[in-house]
Amino acid sequence: MADEAQGEPKKHEVFEKPFKVQPVFEMRSTPESYRRYPDGDKLPSQLKVWKVQDTGQPFGSVVTHSYGYEDSPDAEILTPGFNDGKESGAVGVGRHASFLQWGFSAPPSKLTPAGKNFFLNSICYIHKFDNAAPLVRQEAMSRDYVVFLASIIPQLNDPNEFFSGIFAPDLKKIYQSDPKGFGKYMEGYLEFLYQDNTYKPDLELKSLGIPTNRQVQTLERLISLLEDEKQKQLAQKLLLRYTTESFQTPAQWKAWLESNKSRLYFSDIGGYKFRMMPEGYLK
């Protein structure tokens, strides 16, 4: 990452208090690395940026992939960083629980007026989350990143490595029949991707006519199918797949969902499961 943040600041208190952040915008040519990522070909030739620091160096600061960064309720991207290496939207400054990722590298003397205020505001903001532990530890890759990896396999010298450690072995035949289309194939199953040692579409869930594995309505539908003699075994199997619970009766599943529905969220990073926020977390 260079000296700039990318895009206009979002509406967020970190740009408003205690100091107003007033960026000076410039236009920069879109980095070629952005084109390698999904939808990169749809980006304009130039992007709006604003300087956080003024070192004059095209590198030295760091960004992290945006894929899965906001996967849980305790993580947020504060600003993307303009970079030449990762995707458009890669995180320059972000928060996860009580951790602040400040990706810029310059000392305070090299920060712009907007950068100084942004840095001070970020310190004040992260203090609000003192001692907050992360809700999720990384157990898997986000589905968006999995789709990206599927799209770049044709560029590799040895695609077999991906099918021995990342993608389910039975997907290899689909890849071999259309290597360049494999990324589009996986993208078509975006709402059904999950991890079971390797990554693959959940065709069992799809067979039930359920449109996604990551909405609470999915749990509601699966619990209702526990009353269906033909589908109850599959419904129970999928409930165990997508939650951390192990209830055995429809009544237990219903009671659990009714008690915890408002606190549930789905996490790819956390193992492709529904997880629960602590009581009072959103207050």
- Shared domain for 90 and 67, answered yes or no, is yes
Are 46 and 109 within one domain? yes
Instruction: Provide the number of structural domains found in the chain.
Output: 3
Q: pLDDT tens-digit profile of 224-264? A: 999 999 999 999 999 999 999 999 999 999 999 999 999 99
Expressed in angstroms, the distance from the first to the final Cα of the chain is 35
Same domain, 272 and 180: no
Are residues 160 and 263 both part of a single domain? Answer: no
Summarised one tens digit per residue, pLDDT across range 72-121 is 999 999 999 999 989 999 999 999 999 999 999 999 999 999 999 999 99
Nearest to 258 by CA among 269, 270, 247: 247
**H-run or E-run covering 269:** none
Last residue of a domain, one of 201, 218, 246: 201
- With cut-offs at 50, 70 and 90, classify the pLDDT of residue 58: confident
Residues 40 and 120 in one domain: yes
Q: Pairing between strand 75-80 and 91-96?
A: antiparallel
| 113 and 18, same domain (yes or no) | yes
Pinpoint the alpha helices (H) of the chain. Answer: 113-127, 143-152, 160-165, 172-177, 182-188, 203-206, 216-225, 232-242, 250-260
Quote the CA–CA distance of 197 and 195 in Å, as a whole number. 6
The domain of 247 spans 203-283
d(CA 8, CA 215): 30
- 10 and 121 share a domain? yes
**pLDDT attached to residue 280:** 78
Same domain as 169, residue 84 = no
Q: Per-residue pLDDT for 283 more than 70?
A: no
Largest CA distance in the chain: 70
| Whether residue 122 sits in one domain with residue 26 | yes
DSSP 2-64: -SEEESSPPS-GGGTSSS-----EEEEEPPGGGGGSTTGGGS-SEEEEEESB----S-SS--B
